[in-house]
Structure 1
């Protein structure tokens, strides 16, 4: 797969247009029209670049950008703000908060693509340090070694189980619904059902042994990994 692009945009026509151009360049594209979900996806996926609208339901784009730049895990992700707001003040605020570019709608998709490629080339030349280990409540995942431990026990996980546990641990304390887990672990084009997540959660809990209660079911929504503070 190519570079990962996260599009946080609630206008369906623009999302379709962006996906068309990005997929032609072999980018891996994830989209959401909700600000809160977009912030969660940014922390989970750690994409190579984020295209961010300002006017969003759930959480506005400037607040998302501010949160991303304050978090050491996401501060290095390039952000391109895409918005209908052309006011100079909004542009200045966005760039001062650390956005890498600011493009006003309506826009030329080829120009947008050219700017994104330029930003990605720059980040390739100066790669950001990304965490290789994630841990919560006694469970540790080593990305480089593709190893997971619960306490002192090395877990024998499949690739999907490892990815599922990683998504939960990265977002410890936050509820992830089943569709989000399907998108993160199996990909947005996966045609399976929510049942797939439930089956893998059961298998994962068995392998976690004494740590299985860390993975909590949130009724009618999904799952969350309990923080250390929850015990």
Structure 2
């Protein structure tokens, strides 16, 4: 049964794949679930459509003509209007370096083909359910010189101009800052941020921590070797 009930709040999905059979399969199942769907057969067209459609979710292949999925994802994440859009890679590429590259450009999930429609729909519905649950929790954390605002996915540091973070980087920072000085291992963070129904590499956490440190500095998130990560509320 579909999780999409209200016509005024129907999530929008952009399907990007050069295989017309896969596009047709995904479009059929998504529409059946109640989603609004547009499609593109290459990366350049996907970027063009996304700018006006502003999808809530993009299903993105890697191996495509004109512009591959990794570069397409990178360009999409640079668009401020699409920074909160979920990006799920659906690809035949199963090697680890492709998966790492996908998460490095801001993927929310990475699923290898062949596609199992029912399982895919379950994962997509779970993403939107978690989003609704997060909206009901607190919207802002003020700690040290950081103001972390969940409404617009921004972090203000020292009263300076707000830094806009990609969705998963923001969620990771927000989660750690909620319980400062508590250490979480990679598996716990994967479960909390990506969800139990999504399989991603543990290295994905390291990539997102690295990106946060590049933007905010090294003094906030500490590494306990062999254990995990924590947000430190003690100034150095």
Query: Which residue is equivalent to 1:118?
Result: 126
Query: Which residue is equivalent to 1:61?
Result: 69
Describe the SS at the equivalent of 2:110. strand
Distance in 2 (alpha carbons) for counterparts of 1:69 and 1:126: 21
Query: Which residue is equivalent to 1:17?
Result: 25
After TM superposition, the score normalised by the length of structure 1 is 0.53
**Distance verdict in 2 for CA 1:129–1:45, change over 3 Å:** farther
Distance in 2 (alpha carbons) for counterparts of 1:124 and 1:53: 26
Whether 1:34 and 2:42 are equivalent positions in the alignment is yes
Describe the SS at the equivalent of 2:94. coil
After TM superposition, the score normalised by the length of structure 2 is 0.52
C-alpha RMSD of matched pairs (Å):
1.7
Q: Deviations over 1:133-161 (max 9, x none)?
A: xxxxxxxxxxxxxxxxxxxxxxxxxxxxx
Residues 49 and 120 in structure 1, CA contact (< 8 A), matched pair in contact too: no
Describe the SS at the equivalent of 2:81. coil
Residues 13 and 55 in structure 2, CA contact (< 8 A), matched pair in contact too: yes
For structure 1, which segment, 65-74 or 116-125, has the greater mean C-alpha deviation from structure 2 after superposition?
A: 116-125
Residues 56 and 84 in structure 2, CA contact (< 8 A), matched pair in contact too: no
Distance in 2 (alpha carbons) for counterparts of 1:54 and 1:113: 20
Distance in 2 (alpha carbons) for counterparts of 1:5 and 1:12: 16
Describe the SS at the equivalent of 1:73. helix
Give the paired residue count. 130
- Specify every segment of 5 or more residues in structure 1 that has no aligned partner in the other structure, as ranges: 131-231
Residues 48 and 120 in structure 1, CA contact (< 8 A), matched pair in contact too: no
Distance in 2 (alpha carbons) for counterparts of 1:65 and 1:98: 7
- Specify every segment of 5 or more residues in structure 2 that has no aligned partner in the other structure, as ranges: 1-6, 136-150, 154-236
Distance in 1 (alpha carbons) for counterparts of 2:36 and 2:106: 24
Query: Which residue is equivalent to 1:79?
Result: 87
Q: Deviations over 1:91-116 (max 9, x none)?
A: 11111221010011112111111111
